[in-house]
């Protein structure tokens, strides 16, 4: 496969498409351009070695996107650092992690994120609101150094600069985990209440978080969900997709997805009821 | 009797489900015997194949099972949903409720959205047009007194000088007036530009097989006589050097774009410039040995190139060019050429 010819073929305009993808990943134009430069440079190294694992089992363009995404994330890690998000953010799922990373590390504007995730705008709004409320200093300037200006300002090596940035950013961000506290269940509950607009005084946080901790092993054993059930729940509740979209993603018929989702929701609530963890009791107080 | 579902109930349900999912965050480490079969995490191509519907039903099931156990693959899969805008890529959606809009409403919204997205640029274009017409019609600045970037704009607009069908500079008078009816740059600047243009092509031809073997290039090179540049003051020297470099870069860009019948897209031009500058310095140092000429220290060359970049920026952003540029087309072979040139050295 002649990747050079494929990527630079003006008819298909893959450079334009990759640029569009980079702009979607990094809403700041300069960062997106920088990231794309980095990715293209990495992709083209050693005669496009990173793309040589392609075996023709998918379309070349789709495969190219997967490799590009890896490189864009690699760029992000080098430029902005790779600290772990707070545990409660991790437990709430990938979309929370992504928003946290883009909002707090990459310091993207809230409005940009709402445009990018326009199909999941409500969910994204909830997440942004909660992260900003619960994580102090999110999005503020830190020791992250920006790579800017033209390469022609001095003798410039992009890789070298990124490596320096990565070392700086890791040091600056390594204490984020401890700053958010140790009682992760309480933080998790507080975050969820904030996101769902549940008034905190309606829930006995201490009691509920204690109960959750006590029953966590039991819950893990009880929630024996199939792959499809787990993905249905994750895509709906963590990622914020509508049921019609979920059905297409999982290649199910819509009525089938809807029915299976209702069944698994009922199953979860039953397990929680049986464990005496009836949240309605708390919410009704 | 059906229980009335309240907002309160919905919130409670959502809270419960999200709590439950937070438990499964660690539970994915527990593998059942069946799931232990799927220990190989899906690679990038398998993920791509899923979206291209190239997996069989069995393979898809195995793929989804593995996704749950492999956080990295799961993240990549989610990332691809965003990349491909899946599954929304072929649909017109109401952004709030994901419903298929009525035909009339969708036409209405499309029209409104088009107007909204274009009204600012339309107004800007109209304002620029009036200003441009005012400047052209009511200001009578002699050509030779225009800033260099404006001169380039004028030339480009008239499709002169920046074309492979280059006019032999010996046809021009000392005052820069052409013996033909063309209105072009004054002589010293023109000479500098043409020298630079030629130099740029020489540079490229030495390192680039593609340029080297093009019959157009050879014809053009043969048609350009060498001209000596004599400057009496430092300003002239500065201008000359600027034009020389400008010529080189213009030839670099234009040659590639014309070879591939592409136009230059401003927003990506600087991307290519940044990559190419780095390689260009290396090329230049190598070519110096071929041509036997002294070169400036790369840092001073870089400073000159910065100025050229600004000139080219003005050039590309001129209204007259915008009329001719197709924004969606990218001249992308500069990087390709630079990379292949470096590899061939």
Q: Assess contact for B205 and B211: CB atoms under 8 A.
A: yes
Contact B203, B287 (CB under 8 A): yes
- Measured between alpha carbons, how far is B70 from A64 in angstroms, rounded to an integer? 21
pLDDT single digits (tens) A89-147:
888 889 999 999 998 888 888 888 888 888 888 888 889 888 988 888 786 544 333 33
Listed by number, the residues of chain B in 116-135 with a beta carbon closer than 8 Å to a beta carbon of chain A are none
pLDDT over 50 at B44, yes or no: yes
Contact: B12, A63; criterion CB under 8 Å? no
A251 in contact with B, Cβ within 8 Å = yes
Residue A277's closest chain B neighbor by CA?
B16
Q: What is the ipTM of this complex?
A: 0.83
CA distance B66 to B73: 8
Q: Which residues on chain A are in Cβ contact (under 8 Å) with B273?
A: 150
Partner-chain contact A94 B95, CB within 8 Å: no
Contacts of A265 in chain B (CB under 8 A): 13, 17
For residue range B164-190, what is the model confidence (pLDDT) as tens digits?
A: 223 333 333 333 444 443 333 444 455
Please give the average per-residue pLDDT across A181-189, as a whole number.
Answer: 67
Instruction: Mutation target for A interface from B296, B297, B332: give the one with most A CBs within 10 A.
Output: B332
> Do A193 and A129 touch, CB atoms closer than 8 A?
no
State whether B45 and A280 contact (CB < 8 Å).
Answer: no
Task: Give the DSSP letter string of A163-226.
Answer: HHHHHHHHHHHTTHHHHT-S-HHHHHHHHHHHHTT--GGGS-HHHHHHHHHHHHHHHHHH----
Tell me which residue in A37, A54, A90 faces B45 most closely, judged by beta carbons: A54
Which of B18, B277, B306 minimises the CB distance to A92?
Answer: B18
For helices B187-207 and B266-291, give the axis angle rounded to 10 degrees: 80
Residue B123's pLDDT band (boundaries 50, 70, 90)? low
pLDDT at B228: 35
pLDDT band at residue A73 using 50, 70 and 90 as cut-offs? very high
Average pLDDT, rounded, for chain B: 52
Instruction: Round to the nearest angstrom and report the end-to-end CA distance of chain A.
Output: 65
Compute the residue count for chain B: 345
A152 close to B (CB below 8 A)? yes
Give pLDDT tens digits for B270-311: 444 443 344 444 444 444 444 444 444 445 555 554 554 454
3-state secondary structure B295-331: CCCHHHHHHHHHHHHHHHHHHHHCHHHHHHCCCCCCC
What single DSSP character describes residue A150? -
pTM over 0.90: no
Instruction: Please determine, for residue B17, whether its predicted confidence score (pLDDT) is greater than 60.
Output: yes
Q: Give A 186-215 residues with CB within 8 A of chain B.
A: 188-189, 192-193, 196-198, 212
Interface mutation vs chain A, best among B6, B10, B17, most A CBs within 10 Å:
B17
Give yes or no for a cis peptide into B87 (omega within 30° of 0).
yes
* pLDDT cut 70: percent of chain B above it: 19
Q: Show the 3-state SS of B95-129.
A: CCCCCCCCHHHHHHHHHHHHHHHHHHHHHHHHHHH
Tell whether the model's pLDDT for residue B64 goes beyond 60.
Answer: yes
pLDDT per position as a tens digit, A206-245: 777 776 676 666 666 667 788 899 999 999 999 988 899 9
Asked if A18 and A36 touch (Cβ cutoff 8 Å), the reply is yes
**Is residue B260 pLDDT above 70, yes or no?**
no
CB A93 within 8 A of CB A157: no
Q: Which of B223, B204, B200, B224 is nearest to B213 (CA)?
A: B204
pLDDT at B197 exceeding the cut of 50 = yes
Tokens of B300: 């001073």
What pLDDT digit, counting tens, does each position of B200-257 carry? 555 544 444 444 455 544 554 454 444 334 444 554 455 555 555 555 555 555 555 5
Q: By the 8 A CB rule, do A229 and A264 touch? A: yes
Q: What is the pLDDT of residue B192?
A: 56
User: Is the pLDDT score of A80 beyond 80?
Assistant: yes
CB-CB under 8 Å, A66 with B44: yes
């Amino acid at each position: 496969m002649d990747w050079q010819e494929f990527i630079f073929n003006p008819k298909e305009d893959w450079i334009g498409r990759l640029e569009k993808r980079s702009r979607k990943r990094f809403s700041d134009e300069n960062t997106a351009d920088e990231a794309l430069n980095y990715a293209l440079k990495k992709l083209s190294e050693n005669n496009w070695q990173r793309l040589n694992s392609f075996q023709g089992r998918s379309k070349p363009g789709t495969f190219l996107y997967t490799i590009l995404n890896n490189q864009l994330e690699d760029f992000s890690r080098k430029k902005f650092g790779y600290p772990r998000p707070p545990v409660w953010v991790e437990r709430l799922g990938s979309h929370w992690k992504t928003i946290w990373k883009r909002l707090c590390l990459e310091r993207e504007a809230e409005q940009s994120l709402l445009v990018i995730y326009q199909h999941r705008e409500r969910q994204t709004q909830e997440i942004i609101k909660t992260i900003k409320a619960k994580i102090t200093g999110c999005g503020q300037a830190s020791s992250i150094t920006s790579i800017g200006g033209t390469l022609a300002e001095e003798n410039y090596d992009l890789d070298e600069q990124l490596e320096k940035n990565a070392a700086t950013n890791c040091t600056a961000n390594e204490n984020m985990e401890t700053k958010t506290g140790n009682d992760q269940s309480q933080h998790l509950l507080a975050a969820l209440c904030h996101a769902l607009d549940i008034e905190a005084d309606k829930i006995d946080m201490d009691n509920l978080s204690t109960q959750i901790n006590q029953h966590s092993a039991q819950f893990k054993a009880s929630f024996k969900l199939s792959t499809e059930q787990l993905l249905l729940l994750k895509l709906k509740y963590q990622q914020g997709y509508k049921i019609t979209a979920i059905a297409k993603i999982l290649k199910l018929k819509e009525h089938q997805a809807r029915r299976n989702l209702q069944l698994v929701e009922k199953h979860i609530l039953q397990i929680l009821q049986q464990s005496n963890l009836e949240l309605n009791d708390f919410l009704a107080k | 009797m059906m229980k009335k579902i309240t907002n309160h109930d919905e919130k409670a349900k959502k809270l419960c489900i999200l709590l439950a999912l937070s438990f499964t965050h660690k539970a994915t480490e527990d593998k059942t015997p069946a799931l232990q079969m799927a220990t190989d995490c899906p690679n990038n191509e398998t993920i791509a194949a899923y979206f291209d519907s190239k997996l069989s039903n069995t393979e898809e099931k195995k793929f989804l099972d593995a996704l749950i156990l492999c956080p990295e693959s799961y993240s990549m899969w989610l990332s691809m949903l965003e990349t491909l805008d899946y599954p929304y890529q072929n649909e017109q959606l109401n952004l709030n409720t994901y419903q298929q809009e009525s035909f009339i409403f969708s036409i209405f919204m499309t029209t409104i959205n088009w107007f909204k997205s274009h009204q600012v640029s339309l107004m800007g274009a109209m304002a620029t047009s009036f200003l441009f017409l005012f400047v052209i019609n009511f200001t009578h600045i002699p050509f030779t007194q225009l800033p260099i970037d404006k001169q380039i704009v004028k030339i480009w607009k008239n499709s002169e000088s920046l074309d492979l069908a280059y006019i032999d500079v010996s046809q021009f008078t000392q005052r820069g007036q052409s013996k033909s009816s063309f209105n072009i740059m004054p002589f010293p600047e023109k000479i500098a530009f043409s020298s630079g243009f030629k130099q740029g092509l020489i540079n490229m031809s030495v390192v680039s097989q593609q340029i080297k073997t093009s019959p157009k290039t050879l014809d053009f090179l043969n048609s350009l006589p060498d001209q000596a540049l004599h400057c009496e003051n430092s300003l002239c020297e500065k201008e000359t050097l600027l034009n020389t470099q400008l010529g080189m870069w213009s030839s670099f860009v234009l040659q590639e774009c014309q070879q591939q019948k592409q136009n230059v897209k401003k927003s990506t031009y600087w991307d290519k410039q940044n990559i190419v500058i780095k390689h260009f310095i290396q090329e230049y140092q190598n070519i110096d040995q071929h041509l036997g000429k002294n070169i400036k220290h790369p840092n001073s060359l870089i400073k000159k190139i910065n100025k050229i970049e600004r000139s080219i920026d003005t050039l590309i952003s001129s209204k007259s060019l915008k009329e001719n540029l197709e924004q969606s087309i990218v001249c992308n072979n500069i990087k390709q050429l630079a990379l292949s040139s470096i590899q061939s050295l």
